[in-house]
Amino acid sequence: MFLSTFEKQLDSKRRIVVPQDFRAALSGPFDGIFCFPSIEADCLEAGGKSLFDRYQSVIDELPFGDPLRSALETSVLGGMARLSFDTAGRITLPDTLCEMFGLTDWVAVVGLGERFQIWSREAFQAHRAAQRELARDGLAAMRAQQRVARIGGAA
């Protein structure tokens, strides 16, 4: 699993060191990661072969020619880069992906279980604050629904 958040600096060649814990969690046919523009946020999404397989499985469930299938194929498969680790555990992010999300200096590498995301540091700070608020509100709403269900079930 990919856990925690790390701040890393891109060097002049757009390389970052992938955290050792993340490299250890990867298992797949090559020594590296699959990376593509995230569908859900303005960042890069990355992971190992299991993440690639999960997206491929979702795509395969849809019939050929389905507009959603085409959109996923274009967004995920068409935007994907296979990035190999060098001997120092670094990956080199493609220019196009860096430009797409303003990755120029410091980045946040954010573990999300079976995947991780790479954000510009400033964009992630804003995203994290919004996600924390959403989580707080969502958890409160969920607890309220559970209380109503318990009270309703007891009557």
89, 23 Cβ separation under 8 angstroms: yes
76, 39 Cβ separation under 8 angstroms: yes
Summarised one tens digit per residue, pLDDT across range 73-125 is: 999 999 999 999 999 999 999 999 999 999 999 999 999 999 999 999 999 99
Q: How far is CA 103 from CA 67, 89, 107, in A?
A: 30, 19, 7
What's the pLDDT at 152? 77
pTM: 0.88
What's the pLDDT at 26? 84
pLDDT class of 155 with cuts at 50, 70, 90: low
Residue-averaged pLDDT of the chain: 93
Mean pLDDT of 140-150: 92
Look at residues 95, 134, 91 and name the one whose alpha carbon lies nearest to residue 109: 91
List the domain boundaries for the chain: 5-121
Phi then psi dihedrals of residue 109, to 5 deg = -105, 115
28-42, 65-79, 135-149 — which is least confidently predicted?
28-42
Q: Could you tell me the CATH superfamily of domain 5-121?
A: Transcriptional regulator MraZ domain (3.40.1550.20)
Mean pLDDT of 40-52: 94
- Pairing label, strands 15-17, 90-92: antiparallel
Q: Which two tokens stand for residue 30?
A: 């090559």
What's the pLDDT at 27? 66
What's the pLDDT at 43? 97
What's the pLDDT at 73? 97
- How many whole angstroms separate alpha carbon 128 and alpha carbon 44? 15
29 pLDDT exceeds 70?
A: no
Which DSSP category does 90 fall into? E
* Residues 6 or more apart in contact with residue 118 via CB below 8 angstroms: 16, 35, 43, 44, 46, 93, 101, 103, 107, 108, 109, 110
- How many whole angstroms separate alpha carbon 75 and alpha carbon 120? 20
30 pLDDT exceeds 80?
A: no
